[in-house]
Amino acid sequence: MKDQSNAFNGNEISFTELNSEHFLIFEKEQDIFNLYVSKYSKKSDIGNKPAEILELLVSDYDKSNPEHRIALRRYLV
């Protein structure tokens, strides 16, 4: 989806739900992807309102980089 909140500079984002308030968000910035962990009051706020908490986990995510995969797996396991 396209970010309407400007939290991600209007870039395209996608997310997965960790629980009812915490989400992993991928931001597509031109040809790179950034991975964030975030907190929102509700899922419908993602891309529409700024996050309550937003932490950059990996800048320029590369799935072939083991450290990047470990950062992602740490939240999905």
The three-state DSSP-derived secondary structure of the chain is: CECCCCCCCCCEEEEEECCCCEEEEEEEECCEEEEEEEECCCHHHCCCCCCCEEEEEECCCCCCCHHHHHHHHHHHC
- Whether 77 has a pLDDT exceeding 80, the answer reads no
Domain range list for the chain = 12-76
Asked whether the whole model's pTM tops 0.85, one would answer yes
pLDDT at 3: 98
Going 14 to 18 to 20 to 22, the CA torsion angle's sign is: negative
pLDDT at 69: 95
pLDDT at 39: 98
